[in-house]
Structure 1
């Protein structure tokens, strides 16, 4: 039994929760764009040394190729920066707890997209899992309204 993957998943969830709560507090003082710009910038600044520090995995001259830079730019701008901006607006509009609750719908969207775009068959486990996710989100939403 190797619990390292479970521990990493749990750590990622805790980090995301802390990030969402900090983001909620910061949004009272700063604009969404300012917070997202700082998050993105410092994320990139802290990632670059790891690319340089371990050159035996990938030679440094690979990073100078156009395809590599264009992929970095695409991933950095569209998959990270815009996602952080959308998330910050979501936290500001819905609140940290409700926004994080709706993150559970992501596997359902993935299941539907894989069925429609890739032609994958949805198993009974997939249907049961989607039902449980929707039930959990609904219960959580109802409980938060009762408070």
Structure 2
């Protein structure tokens, strides 16, 4: 398979997994405090990756002995991204957090042009324009809710944006590091350092009292982290940053569809969302724009 196609597939897998992530996190904080949820995501992801690497590539652990400064900065940025996003979901709703966390991929797209000198073709300009127009429709109801409410809701939005900016810092650094290091070796530090940093703030007694179904949810969140960040690392390795960003931006579509179904079912375990035909039209425009941006240029 060509590297370009690999990159598209890796980015699409990440978008798919992150589409369900916001809902799962919102459910998890009903029983587990936000910082513990974040810590569990890093710990489970690190255990899965470390076990895999111990059999596959034991030498990859050498990066933990003397990690590059940029890798440490990326790990610190990712640690706050998780916390900012988690707190944002805790204080708002999954779809609203998904709206403002997209600031991160948008910054990454801009960095692709300014830092990595990626060329912007005509179909990409049209695609980005259509996607931005689609988002203005897609999130009309969520933006209206933002301006109509106050208090912890707006605090959650600001925390989410801070997490999005932190994610863009991680992604830009990761794009540089994957040129000389394997994705799995980088992720050992990216998962391991935040797990250590958050450890002093964890209360283990409530975890021991959890029903096994909640443990399954926490394990899912950790596995989601492991697979998604392995895929996005490879996507950044194989294709341009602006194309990775536009594909990742599609993940709110999955959140929106799932939340729409849950709202129609009138479930009690997650807060309902507001959406309309305008929202659906916006989602279609975002998808069309993303296809135009990600489409491979026929000329050399």
TM-score norm. by structure 2 comes to 0.39
Gaps of 5+ in 2: 145-273, 276-300
Task: Spell out, residue by residue over 1:73-92, the C-alpha distance to the aligned partner (whole angstroms, 9 max, x if none).
Answer: 554x4243222112112222
| Alignment match, 1:49 | 51
Q: Distance in 1 between matches of 2:51 and 2:70?
A: 18
> What is the aligned counterpart of 1:28 among 24, 27, 30?
30
Q: CA RMSD in A?
A: 3.4
Q: Distance in 2 between matches of 1:64 and 1:25?
A: 34
Q: Is the 8 A contact 1:111 1:122 kept in 2?
A: no
Q: Distance in 1 between matches of 2:79 and 2:27?
A: 20
Gaps of 5+ in 1: none
Task: Spell out, residue by residue over 1:99-141, the C-alpha distance to the aligned partner (whole angstroms, 9 max, x if none).
Answer: 2244555443223233444555544334323222211211111
Structure with more relative contact order (C-alpha pairs < 8 Å, separation 6 or more):
2
Q: Distance in 2 between matches of 1:5 and 1:116?
A: 21
| Alignment match, 1:88 | 86
Matches within 5 A, 1:1-147: 8-55=10-57, 59=59, 62-63=62-63, 65-67=65-67, 74-75=73-74, 77-118=75-116, 122-143=120-141, 147=275
Q: Distance in 1 between matches of 2:118 and 2:24?
A: 39
Deviation at 1:143, TM superposition (A): 5.0
Q: Distance in 1 between matches of 2:114 and 2:136?
A: 25
Q: Is the 8 A contact 2:85 2:101 kept in 1?
A: no
Q: Distance in 1 between matches of 2:116 and 2:63?
A: 31
Deviation at 1:10, TM superposition (A): 4.0
Larger helix percent: 1
Deviation at 1:61, TM superposition (A): 7.0
Q: How many residues align?
A: 143
Give the stretch that moved more between structures: 27-36 or 112-121: 112-121
Task: Spell out, residue by residue over 1:3-35, the C-alpha distance to the aligned partner (whole angstroms, 9 max, x if none).
Answer: 776655444333212221110111222221111
3-state DSSP of counterpart to 1:59: helix
Q: Distance in 2 between matches of 1:50 and 1:122?
A: 38
